[in-house]
Structure formats: structure tokens, C-alpha cells
Structure 1
């Protein structure tokens, strides 16, 4: 038995934590060989935070979810400077997507972050999808594949590793894997033609990492979710698609897998299936070492071959080594600012109908649907603030989920909705508003429904939630 077995076990773990500075227990674990850490908005990630991690282990793989749009960790307070994937897919300019990816990579390079858990390479085949939606470039394989490649080139061209997710494809699900185990009911042929092409394209583009999703895909494995399935992770992704980079799990505390197995069982089963890194999004000192000890025990008991663990640790180290070799690229990216690209893209992504225009401060009614669990709770919707900058005196009313519309006075009315295509009650509130105020302006920040009926209604779709998307919509309305 290898003398450094405990270090190998720590090397494959990527824990998250609550604190805004690196806690002492995590720093000690880094000194003992912990291979990674994942940062969230709650950690206030910046270069100083990352330096504290690297002081204990210079080769630590520091990861974040910085997709742009609704999923941001570095810009959550004000909203992202970049529109998300759906907006980029609506524009369908791969050069622009690469520019956006490069600037996201540049921002991460400034913070010395190794790995971006992005892009989402999921084909959003189900408009009712509660967790992907605007995080996908769109509903077709070719579109998603083109923009996945462009995004990967952009981020990695800035010297930061990209990670295509959520293999083998989370787009055709009606369940959020944060809450329960989704099932993808498609046939093997549909999966091959619809869901796998973006991952094939990302692999050909040299993506450094892939994240597997907590998905049951009976056509590939009728019993185990992808995270724990050798048929999906090894037979398909490794042997079939030829991916030899780092394969990381989605967060193992998500109910899709946590409802069935303990954290230690998930980690061991995922490693045995072919995963290389275990993302544990919320960890304490106790749970970190429980994960380590479960992996060590599995090796000692012959459940997990030590060679498989060593291979996984080597793939994690390869991402760290690659990052270390890209210093010149990061330096070039830092000097290659493209400050207007996010707003330019947000403006280009707007789709509009009607001729409504705001010449005085409106009442903005925020029809609040829940964002996906992947979106930080502090993420602002943004349009009210953007309009208030242009039209001081703009007022806001917040409508609780399935609540009733407030009374309207003579002020212009702007309804801000999200994913109207997914929510019948939101579409009904829009219809009610049009009946009461035929001149209502509806702004949808998600996957939009058809524009409201009525000759005087105006509809604006931003195709995503971001600071720049809100600014672009506000500008259009006050043009």
C-alpha cells in the first residue's frame, strides 16, 4: 500500500466552505496535499483570497462557476458584466462568444483562479427545464457545439482552464438536480445526435475539464446516475469520445445523489466509475476528512484500485500544471481589455416587439419567479436599478410567486418576468396586465413566451439575467 495514500485521497477533493477567508483547517489540508477548492460568492473570491490558498499549496486547483449571465461568483453584488449563454446563442456570432469568453477568462486570471466550471454545453431541448434554461446556448446541437467551442477557446486563450458541463447533457430534464434526480428519457440515438455533439466538439477543442451531471439516463445506464456510472464516464466519455482530461463531479451534496448515498459513498463510487475530482460545494473540516478517509478505506478494502486513484490525482495535477504553463497567456489577457464587449453583446441579444417608449419614471412590477438553484440568492434582477439611473423616480413593486398584480395608476407600467415560457401563472399575470393597461411593457429576462397580445403592448426579451442585459433593455426603453 502506497505511503502517500492519504495525500492521493486529498488530491482529488475540491471542497467549498462558508468563510470569506481561507479557514485554518482548509489551509492545513492544503499543506497535507488537498488538490482543489471551489469558491462561491459567499467567499468573496478575489486575488487575495486565492493567494492565501496558494501559500499553502501553490498547485491547488482553484475553481469557480463563472458562466456569465445569471451564474456569477465574482460579480454577484451588481450582476455580471457579460450576458449568459442563451443571449450569445441568440446572436449566434462565434467570434463575439469567444471575445466574451476571453474577457471572463481575463477576469479569472486577475484573481489567479485555475478553473472555470463553464461553459454549460447542455442542449436546452425542454423549454420547461428548471435548471438549465438561459444557461444553455440554445435548443439545437449545432448551435450549442459552435458556441461551446468558442467559449472554451476564449477562456483557455486567457490562460484559465475551461470545463464543459453537465455530461452527458442536462438539457432535456424537467427536474433540478439540486433537488432531486432528473431522468433523461431520450433514446441512445437521440442522445448521440442531440446531447453529445457539444461535448465531442469541446474535446476536439482541447477543453481541459468536463463536469458530469447528476442525471439518470436509462439508455446509457438504467440503474445509476451518470456521476456513479462506469458505463457513462469510462465506457462512453473516456473510451467512446476519447476524453483524457480531468473529469469533475457536480457538487455531491446535491439531492440527486445525496438522497441515495452518503458523501463518502458518492466519492468512492464516482472515482471508481471514472471521475477524477470530487466537488463538495459545502464542506467542513469534519466532512472533508470523512471524505478522505472513505476513499482511503475503499482502497485498502480493494473496492477502489489504488491505480485508479493515482490516475485521478494525476489528472487533477495535469490541470494545475497546464495552468502553470499559461502564465504568458494570462499576462497577455490582462493587457488585452475589451471593456465594452459585454454590453455590446447584451444589446445585440435583445429581441423586441412593439413601439413602447418610456419618457417618464415608470412603475416596475417584478414578477418574481424562483431562479434556478445554481443562481446565487443575492443575484439582482437589475432592470429597476438600470431604469432608475436613466429615469430617476422609477418605482418598484415586487410580486411574490403567484401573487396578484398591484393597482396601477397613470404611471407607465413595466412588468419584469423571468421564464414566462415555463410558468402559466406568469403568462396569466401578463395577460391580466395587458387587459388593465394595454400599453404595458413586458421585459422577460429568461426563456420568453410569445409576446403578449394587444396592439399597444411592448415586449422585450433580454434572454438572460445580467447587469449589462438590464442596462441594454433600459437603454432600449428610454431610447
Structure 2
């Protein structure tokens, strides 16, 4: 009996062990051999998952008409110191994506705030899917757009002469904060041209120096300072306006340097800025004969696609210099020039003056897409980059208070102390 009882106990123990082992095996089996999950229950795998901002950008893109997309690719200037019917119409009816202000648009901090908030209101009333780029050339020195009551910033050459990158960053941060407090969200600065020509009629003290190293070490830090305040810095004027003898506002500059020289001088600050996250690059109206002997850089696919996007690996927004400048106007009508710029790779065409010229650009771009001259995919790629830029910098059309002039001046004074 004892033997039978012991055998029975052993049998029960062995049975329990078998059940336990079986349960464990059943539990761990899916980890070793996963059962395929239906695609309706799990999103398809993506080798390069996109961040949420990009997904939102794509959603916006699919909701936009051709008119809205073309409008985002045109940034315009305006007349007067208050919202005028012409600019209101361009925003409401043509969906222009941004506005540039010049000195004659600015009287005071209070007036500037009212103007910028007024432009935002028009964009809100138009139910635009994207906020406006509100921009100005605030470099410091002789190129300044902030109200006169705000303390002046030094010229870039003065900043560069300190050879102190931390100082350049501090100045850039103050520039960005002053622009933001004034109501802007985009600054066409810093200038990354290497001023190797002492007789340069347009750059001069707008550059940080006469060597690639000085411009790079100081200019890129100023860019990072501006960016730190949530303001979009636009580095300019690619591929390099530093060794020109003609002002592109009045004629077409010609640069004869070969590629080796450009790679060791003119390209250097831009390459560094791009590596450090430059979000926007402005392309100049310059004829670089050794790169593209027939077409100014702003309309050259070789310069924008092969060098800026290809060799320098720039994936951000490309904006042209002002298409109403004589460097363009003396050789080609503005409508065809804008089409050439977009076909070359420009995402935004800047048209600083004249509502009729601005409409001509919008009409020409629309017709070029409708005829198939500009592929729809080109437009979509540009608008995607623009929308992502606006999302990345959290642009908004909500009104802002006028700048506290005393506070702005205090922060500028603190930043400029060496």
C-alpha cells in the first residue's frame, strides 16, 4: 500500500510540474514567435517616423488650395504705417504668407504694434491656415528697422571686431528679444558675407569681418542668439556678396571666383550656419560666373540645388532677395523671374515693393503651375518646408502688446556691455 501511495504522490507531482511548465511555455511563446498583428490594429511600421509637427504640416497641406499654397510662397512689402487696402487684399484674396517692413513703415513702438497686430487680424479674418511671417532687416548699424526710440545696435563689423563669440551671441539674443517684443517673428540677419573687397558698395560694415574665420565665429553665434529668442534668423546673402563692386539694388554684381576659392572663403560661414541649424537662407542676385555663367544665383538651379541643398546639405527654407531690385529688373520681367526662382529651388519669393508687381508674381506662379511648367510636387515641397518652419518657431497670429521701450533699452544696454 505504501508503495502504491508513494507512486500516486509522485504521479501527482509530475503532473503538476508538466502543467506548470506548459503554462510557462504558452506564456512566453509569443515573444519568441510573434503572431502577426492586423494592420487595422497597429499603424504600419515606418523606417523614418516623422515628428508630430510634420504630421500636422501634412494635414494643413492637404487642406490648402493652389491659391493658398502659392500665397505662402510670396512675401510682400507694403506702403504706409497702417494696414492699407492693398496689403489687406493680398492677405485675404491671395493668401500671401508674410510681410516685410522697412523704415518708412515704422514710426514708433506703439504704431508698429498696431500695424503688426492689424496684419495678424486680417490674416485671422481670412481664416488663413498658417500664421504670417512678420519680418524686417534688423542687422544693426545702418540697416535697422526698429523704432527710433529703441536703442541702436552696433554694425556687424563693430561686433566682429571684438572677436568675442560670446559677445556676438549676446548681441544676437538681444536682437531677437527686441524684435520679438516689437512684434516681429523673423529677422533678415545675420549677414554672413565675407567682406574681402574694401570698396564693396553694399556690404562693408554690414559684414562681421574680412576673413571667413571671423565671419563664421561671430556671425553664426549671432544667428544662434537670435534663434534662442524664438525669432527666425535668415542668414544672407548666399553664395556670398562680400567681394562685389556693384550694389545689387541697382545692377547685377558679377563674381569671378572659382569653386576652390568659394569653398574656402564665401561658402564657409554658410556651411557652418547650416550645420548649426540655420532655418532660412537668403539667396542673392549675383552672377557667379564659375558656377553658373548665365543665371543669377537667386534663379540658378545649379547654385540652389547643387551647392546650397546638395553640397552644403541645407534642408530648410530658401528665400530670394527682393525681386524688385534692379539686379533682376534690368534683365527680366518680375513674373518670369519669380517662376525661374521657384523652378531653381526657392521656397519663398520676396517682393518688397509695388502691389502690381506683387500680383504679377502671384499670377505668374499660378499660371506656371496650372500649365505644368512648375510641378505641383515642387509647390507642395516648398509649402511643407514653410509650414514646418512656422510650426517649429510656434508662430501665431494672436495680438501682442506694444514693446516696453524702457525694458527693451535696458536689455540692449546690458547685452552691449563688453
**TM-score interval, smaller chain:** 0.7 to 0.9
Q: Which residue of 1 aligns with 2:160?
A: 89
For the residues of structure 2 that align with 1:171 and 1:26, how far apart are their CA atoms? 34
Change (3 A) 1:157 1:239: same
Secondary structure at the aligned position of 1:175 is classed as coil
Gaps of 5+ in 1: 346-479
- 1:95-114 equivalences under 5 Å are 95-114=166-185
- The Cα shift of 1:23 comes to 1.2
Change (3 A) 1:325 1:182: closer
Q: Which residue of 1 aligns with 2:117?
A: 51
| More helix per residue | 2
Q: Which residue of 2 aligns with 1:287?
A: 357
Q: Which residue of 2 aligns with 1:441?
A: none
Of the three residues 42, 66, 69, the one matched with 2:138 is 66
For the residues of structure 1 that align with 2:212 and 2:134, how far apart are their CA atoms? 30
Change (3 A) 1:26 1:179: same
For residues 98-118 of structure 1, give each alpha carbon's deviation from its aligned partner in whole angstroms, at most 9, with x where no partner exists: 111111111111122121011
Q: Which residue of 1 aligns with 2:261?
A: 190
Is contact 2:76-2:96 (8 Å) kept?
A: no
For the residues of structure 2 that align with 1:13 and 1:283, how far apart are their CA atoms? 13
Is contact 2:185-2:395 (8 Å) kept?
A: no
Q: Which residue of 2 aligns with 1:344?
A: 417
For the residues of structure 2 that align with 1:92 and 1:3, how far apart are their CA atoms? 47
- The Cα shift of 1:28 comes to 3.0
Q: Which residue of 1 aligns with 2:38?
A: none
Of the three residues 244, 247, 252, the one matched with 2:323 is 252
Secondary structure at the aligned position of 1:166 is classed as strand
Is 1:25 aligned with 2:86?
Answer: yes
- 1:255-274 equivalences under 5 Å are 255-274=326-345
Q: Which residue of 2 aligns with 1:36?
A: 98
Secondary structure at the aligned position of 2:160 is classed as helix
TM-score normalised to the size of structure 1? 0.67
- 1:193-232 equivalences under 5 Å are 193-232=264-303
For residues 350-405 of structure 1, give each alpha carbon's deviation from its aligned partner in whole angstroms, at most 9, with x where no partner exists: xxxxxxxxxxxxxxxxxxxxxxxxxxxxxxxxxxxxxxxxxxxxxxxxxxxxxxxx
Is contact 1:72-1:79 (8 Å) kept?
A: no
Is contact 2:351-2:357 (8 Å) kept?
A: no
Is 1:10 aligned with 2:71?
Answer: yes
Secondary structure at the aligned position of 2:234 is classed as strand
For the residues of structure 1 that align with 2:64 and 2:81, how far apart are their CA atoms? 34
Q: Which residue of 1 aligns with 2:386?
A: 316
- 1:448-459 equivalences under 5 Å are none
Is contact 1:61-1:319 (8 Å) kept?
A: no
RMSD value over aligned CA atoms? Answer: 2.4
For the residues of structure 2 that align with 1:5 and 1:39, how far apart are their CA atoms? 26
Is contact 1:114-1:320 (8 Å) kept?
A: no
Secondary structure at the aligned position of 2:411 is classed as coil
Gaps of 5+ in 2: 1-62, 125-130
- The Cα shift of 1:289 comes to 2.2
For the residues of structure 1 that align with 2:100 and 2:413, how far apart are their CA atoms? 29
Change (3 A) 1:204 1:250: same
For the residues of structure 1 that align with 2:416 and 2:185, how far apart are their CA atoms? 26
TM-score normalised to the size of structure 2? 0.77
Is contact 2:151-2:412 (8 Å) kept?
A: no
Q: Which residue of 1 aligns with 2:7?
A: none
Of the three residues 372, 377, 396, the one matched with 1:302 is 372
For the residues of structure 1 that align with 2:141 and 2:150, how far apart are their CA atoms? 8
Of the three residues 206, 216, 219, the one matched with 1:148 is 219
Secondary structure at the aligned position of 1:291 is classed as helix
Change (3 A) 1:220 1:123: same
From the CA coordinates, give the structure whose radius of gyration is larger. 2
- The Cα shift of 1:158 comes to 0.9
Secondary structure at the aligned position of 1:95 is classed as helix
Is contact 1:30-1:56 (8 Å) kept?
A: yes
- The Cα shift of 1:178 comes to 0.5
